[in-house]
Structure formats: structure tokens, C-alpha cells
Chains A and B, each alone.
Chain A
Amino acid sequence: MSILVDRNTKVIVQGITGSHGSFHAKQMLEYGTRVVGGVTPGKGGQKVEGVPVFNHMDEAVRETGANASVIYVPARFAPEAIREAFRSGVKLVVCITEGIPALDMARLNEEFQGKPGRLIGPNCPGIITPGECKIGIMPGYIHKRGSVGVVSRSGTLTYEAVWQMTSRGIGQSTCIGIGGDAIIGTTFVDALELFEKDPETEAVLLIGEIGGSAEEEAAEVIEKKISKPVIAFVAGRTAPPGKRMGHAGAIIGGASERAQDKIERLKRAGVRVADSPARIGEAVEKVLLETQKSPKR
């Protein structure tokens, strides 16, 4: 088991004729992901990497039976691409695109609230269930199948953490990069609840950063609903207030958005927080050993 994506996930690449889209379509196919088609308006009928290109998501889904899409189109076109994907009926939309205005995301959120379908991102590396399905831009080979669920606001920092785990022989059930923007589709809380229900996942690694209150909300849910052990790292303890640190969402606006406050709040919820980004794998290993020693809950 895993969450959200597995070997049965059939993916459409939106923006497949662009340089990013075609490059990553190839990478995903090589990993073994079932990329069944692509969409670029006006370019229907072509083939990219051996998969058919359609003009519209509706047509792509009708012809291929796809149940997921991944978006590589420029920021200006991305909100409309997300809208088109949801309307086509796919259950999962992964938006890699960086630079979408926050209010566009707020409007999309209002439009699709309460309706079926899940968005991951935007401004994220994507989602991977090692050995089965990779949707996004992460390097596949650093992952190894196993029992730790990973959820993160970052890209390369997640690769770093995953690599530390894999090097120690610790595998992952599913890794989700939820994205670095202020408004995102899938949150820490959503991912934690999904991992809690997944029988393969034994522990969850959460990678947070400065800005917003997603880590605090995660801590609250961990206290109330999550029985599996959670390990965390929060980046940005040295970040100055008021400065945007790369990610649109990584800015300390208020006093409660600092890394220290988030770390303390997570610790109070019983989360093991790694102090150093170089010791994330080690922290996960320790928690797994302790869990295996203790009697089954």
C-alpha cells in the first residue's frame, strides 16, 4: 500500500510539448510511471515520447481513462490548467509550476471546495511511491520502497532527507512535496491523515519551514488524531524576519511564524525534531528502532 499514487495511476502531462513537460514526461516514463497522454491546446494529434497529445483534458481523459494529471505550464496559464484538470474528472492534480499569484489559488480553492479531486502544489516537486509511480520532478533513484511516509514544503531539502534515509537502508511508502507557496492544495494535515490510514506507513517524516502556521496546525492534528510516530525538521532558524527566503510562502510575517516556535510546538505534540538537517536520517532511524522495540499498540 501507499497513498494517492500507485502502479494503477494513469497520468496525463499538461504542457507536454514544452521543454519541461517533455523532459519530465520522459523521466517519468523511464521510472515506470504510466504516462498515458499529454495535453497542449492546439497540438492535439502529435506524439511526445511515444504518448499521444490532446487539445483538452476532457478529450485526454475520455481517450485514455487517466485518473491523474501533472502540470508543467507557465504560471500565467496554470490556474486555467488546474481548472480544466478538475473539470475533466481526474482525482489527483499535481501542479509543479512556480509563480502563481496567491489570490488565483484562493479563488480556485473556493471554486473547488467540497468537490472531489485533490490538488498537490503548486510550486512543488510532486509525489512518488517508490518503485510504482513518480509524478513530478524528483530524481527517482534516491528513493527506496519502505515504511516511512514523507511530507515536505521543500524540494531539494526533501531529496537530501530521503537520500539520508535510503543510504541507511530506510525506505519510503510515499513522498509528497506539498509546495512552497502560501496557498496550497494538500496540506501537512491532509497528508498526515492519509498516512495514518495507510497500513504500510509506520512513521511519518515532516519537513517544514518558516512562514504561515502549517506546522502548528500539523502539531494539533498529531496530538489528536495521529498514532504513528512523527519525526520533523523545520528549516529557517537563521532566517531574518520580513524577508522572502526563495519560496513565496517562506517569509516570517508575524512573531509566531518563526522556526523556533514551530519546533517547540511540534515537540509539545510529541514529535521528534531533528536539530540538524544533516541528522534527519539518523533521527528517523532512532524512532523506527524505538518503535520496533516497544510492544505493538
Chain B
Amino acid sequence: MNLHEYQAKELLRQFGIPVPSSKVVSSPEAAEKAASELGGNRFVVKAQIHAGGRGKGGGVVLVEGREEVRRSAQRLLGTNLKTPQTGPQGQPVDSVLVQVQTEIEKEFYAAVVLDRSQAKPCIIFSESGGMDIEEVAKRSPEAIWKQTFSPKSGLTPSEAKAFLSRGKFDLKAKETLSKILVGAARLFLETDASLVEINPLARTPSGDFLAIDAKIRLDDNGLERHAELAALRDPRQEDSREIEAKKFDLSYVGLEGNIGCMVNGAGLAMATLDLIKLAGGEPANFLDVGGGASKEKVTAAFKIILQDPKVQAILVNIFGGIMRCDVIAEGVLAAVKETQLKVPLVVRLEGTQVEQGKEILKKSGLKIISAESLEEGARKAVSCVHSR
């Protein structure tokens, strides 16, 4: 689950990491009021959406005076902001962050991630902050420092200081930065995060460090024990179909193509999308109905797939293991009837009781295109779309 920038900064503040003064608002009037309460004359107005690249999309505006704060907020609020990291429709701007402008002397990068191969959390730091860290990593990998730490005892201040000795910081800077890294590591562990990123982490002319922008992603599997964090979810930033799918314990991801897919198992679902592409088609979605594809789940899955107006054909690919194919076939029939399916449906069944499953589909009298193999299923689904 992703957090908004303003939520991320509030968490940083709670863990002792300095952030610029700011207020989150959802109306132009409130923006103007926020500016006068914050004081000063130079502000930055930042659209709050769950996507990066906001600067490039015009979602981060530097302004002078309260009146301009109000006008910028007015321009951003209620629109859909498109950035290089959003879909073509963009993401809705329901709130903006009004923040005091910071005088920046130098920009750094700091993050905490999970190092999967070491099975440990890991701090990342770079003196080349402010830009795309992936680009820095590609061009000059030596500019990125990394170190794992214990998931039990956390990052200790002495570990943080030893880590920072790779750079040329004076005592005071090292002390401040080590506090920031230790705080970020604690935040990561105590919130079950999968990413805590501060970019840029700015040094001001007076030698203070401030988190100018921040991104936090939480481990969905950890949310159950953090009710207060789970409450920070903003469903408006998520695909409504993904939310609907979750209610039925289905896993859905919307894509750009026109062939709807329903598969059991995440790996097989990904492989099915790959196969559609190989056959010259474009998948409309990823959808994993899970191991126990009951009638209710299959019906819910069909409804979610059909909410996408781009869908011109559906491919169902089920490898019945413990789940019997005849049970799945009954589920598909019920779903077709209940949703009054209008688009062509290609079904590929394999596994336990596959003959009975195929027989049920054949006898139903419904127009279901049956496929004998994975490859044939993909090919038939693609030709349905191409012949329209």
C-alpha cells in the first residue's frame, strides 16, 4: 500500500526526521489560509497523488505570496494529474500540500528497502540526490552506498556513523545524518514498510538537513497489525476494480489491452499474459482467482473483467489441481448466465476431472469456445479480437 507524501512526512516527523513546515488542504481557500498560517512569502504547492514524476507533470509549483498559493491550488485540485508514472488517465488530485520553500545547498538521497537476497533490511544513501536514483545507479554505481542491518535490533547509531564515514562529513553533519538514518530504519521496522525513501534530503546553508520529498510503501501483509496505518489508505488513488477484486480475495491488475483473462495462480496468470502477447494480442488485465475457484469467485471475477469497456474477448485458463475441473466448469457456466456474457469466451481446462469439465461446458448450449492447450487458448482468444 502506498502513502501520500503528506502522510509519509508526518511519519518521518514522528520518527525524529526533520521536514519543512507544511499543511495539507483540499480547497483553494484553505490553501490560502494555510499559507498565511505558515508565514513567509515563498511556498511550494504539491499535488498529492500516488505516483512519482509529479514535477514533470506540473504537479509541483513554486509560488510567491498567498494569492498565488490559492490560484495554484485552484488549478490543481479536482483535476487528474498525468505524470510519466501514471496511466494515460492520470490520478485525481483531491488534496495539495502547501509547504514553505527551503533554501537548498546540496541534495542527498536516503532510503530503507528490503534486500531480498540477504533477507535483511538495507539502508541506501547517495550524495547524488534529487534525481532519478535508478539513473545514478546505472551511470555510477559507486555513488550509491548500501548496508544491511538487523531486522531485530535495527540500525544502531554507531553502525550509521561508520556507514557515513564513506563521505566527508564534519562531526555535526555526521551526527545529524546518523539520527536521520537511524530514525528511517526504525520507521521501516515499526511500520512494516517495504520502502522508505527521502529524495531529496536537503542540506540548507545553515547546515540543517530536511526531508523535502518522501515516499513510503507499506507491506500489505503487515497491515493487519497496524490499524492506524491501514486507515491511511486512499481508495481514490487505486483502481476501483482492484479494490473490488480484493473484497473477493481475487488479485486483479488492469492493463491496456482488450483480452480479459481469468487464471488460477499468479505465476500461471503472468505466463498466460505473456502467451497472449506472443500470439499477437494484448491482455486487458491480470486476474488470479486463486486455488479454490468457487462459483462466487468466478462470477465476481467475470463481473470485474467486464467492467473494463475495452474487453472484447475473455480467456479462461485453469489448471485444476486439487480444484476439480468439473467444479470450475459449473462456476464458469453460472457466471456466464448471471453476467449475460456478450463477448466471446475461450476456455482452456486442464487437470483433475478435465473430461467431465469439458463435457459440462459442451452440453450447456452456451457459446463457449473450448481450447485443448495453453497455446490454442491464446491463439483462439486473439483471433476472436482480430476478427471483430
Contact = CB atoms under 8 A, between A and B. Distances in A.
Given A159-B321, A245-B253, A106 B275 contact: no
B269 A103 contact: no
Interface string A87-114: 0000000000001111101110111000
B117 A212 contact: yes
26 contacts: A102-B114, A103-B222, A110-B150, A110-B152, A156-B268, A157-B270, A157-B271, A158-B267, A159-B351, A160-B319, A180-B267, A187-B117, A209-B267, A233-B271, A236-B274, A238-B273, A238-B276, A239-B270, A242-B85, A246-B266, A246-B267, A247-B266, A250-B270, A255-B134, A276-B275, A277-B271
Contact of A103 (B116, B195, B219): B219
Contacts, number: 186
B274 A235 contact: yes
Given A102-B114, A159-B319, A180-B266, 10 more contacts: A99-B221, A106-B119, A157-B270, A159-B321, A182-B114, A238-B274, A245-B253, A245-B266, A246-B266, A276-B275
Contacts of B375: 276, 278-279
A-B residue pairs, 5 tightest by C-beta: A154-B267, A246-B266, A156-B265, A157-B267, A277-B271
A248 interface: yes
Nearest to A98: B221
A138 B120 CA distance: 30
Contacts of B274: 235-238, 259, 276-277
A238 B277 contact: yes
Contact of A214 (B117, B121, B137, B222): B117
Given A160-B319, A277-B272, A106 B151 contact: yes
A154 B265 contact: yes
A27 interface: yes
Interface string A151-187: 0111111111001000000000000000010110001
Contact of A101 (B85, B192, B255, B350): B192
A242 B274 CA distance: 17
Interface string B106-139: 0000000110110111000000000000100110
A209 B253 contact: no
A183 B116 contact: yes
A103 B266 contact: no
A168 to B, nearest CB: 13
A18 interface: no
Contacts of B272: 277
Contact of B283 (A163, A238, A246): A238
A101 B283 CA distance: 30
Interface in A100-132: 100-103, 105-107, 109-111
B170 interface: no
A200 interface: no
B273 A154 contact: no
Given A142-B321, A237-B277, A278-B275, A209 B116 contact: no
Interface string B253-287: 10100000001111111111111111000010010
Contacts of B276: 238
Interface string B125-169: 000000000100110000000000011100000000000000000
A210 B270 contact: yes
A240 interface: yes
Nearest to A239: B270
Contact of A236 (B134, B189, B255, B270): B270
Contacts of B83: none
A218 B291 CA distance: 28
Interface in A265-297: 275-279
Identify which of A23, A102, A110, A154 gathers the most chain B CB atoms within 10 Å of its CB: A102
B176 interface: no
B219 A102 contact: yes
A243 interface: yes
A249 B194 CA distance: 11
A156 B262 CA distance: 13
B116 A245 contact: no
Nearest to B272: A277
A75 interface: yes
A163 B320 CA distance: 11
Given A103-B151, A106-B121, A236-B274, A142 B351 contact: yes
Contacts of B269: 245-246
